[in-house]
Amino acid sequence: MAVVFQDYSRSLFPWLTVEKNVALPLRDRGLPRAEIRHRVQESLEMVGLAHAAGLHPWQLSGGMQQRVAIARGLAVRPEVLIMDEPFVSVDAQTRASLEDLLLKVWAETGTTVLFVTHDIDEAVYLSDRVVVLSQGPSVVVADLPVTLDRPRDQIATKQTPLFGELREYVYSLVMASQRRTSLSGEPS
């Protein structure tokens, strides 16, 4: 298992190069140097950052820093990659680019991704399955299959009737859960 956190700037070590940030969990696992080099290179290529291996995080844009964090997660070759609101701190264009990158990486690796988000469009666009949780205490409100065609496209996919129906349904579940929470007096 590997985790990509929402605050990429706090999950990367500014004094280490991109290459060394990605290699860190591999060194902790005691892998041979040649294997570490191979996995770091492979992961950086996968996220389009092979050219930035010798740079430090502070020399990169926010979107590039988050791609380093994704590469680090992928380098360990996890069965499950947990992503905790990883795109919340980037602008809309970078977010769309990172969403498409994630879909590409998922198609190439087949890694199971548990993606946490409060963005309904993002949840529907990225997922094969959306699990809607109540506000608090967290209870599964719904577990919905997402049967949108692949490959997905930021414009074409989001214009399909099915995308709109899924988005509206998830939104209605979230709003109903919020109303129940506020009526019951439980904290939200």
Distant-in-sequence, close-in-space partners of 172: CB < 8 Å, separation ≥ 6: none
Residue type, 65: Q
State the chain's mean pLDDT as an integer.
Answer: 93
The widest CA-to-CA distance across the chain, in whole angstroms, is 59
Does the pLDDT at position 38 exceed 90?
A: yes
Domain ranges of the chain: 1-116, 120-187
Tell me phi and psi for residue 7, to 5 degrees.
-100, 85
Whether residue 44 contacts residue 50, with contact meaning beta carbons closer than 8 Å, is answered with yes
Q: What is residue 139's three-state secondary structure?
A: coil
Tens digits of residue pLDDT in 23-34: 999 999 999 999
Q: Rounded distance, CA 4 to CA 117, Å?
A: 13
Tell me phi and psi for residue 47, to 5 degrees.
-100, 10
79-97 average pLDDT score:
94
Q: What is residue 95's three-state secondary structure?
A: helix
Residue type, 118: H
**Which top CATH class is 1-116?**
alpha beta
Residue in the block written with tokens 């995308």: 163
Q: Rounded distance, CA 154 to CA 41, Å?
A: 28
Tens digits of residue pLDDT in 114-150: 999 999 999 999 999 999 998 776 889 999 999 999 9
pTM equals: 0.89
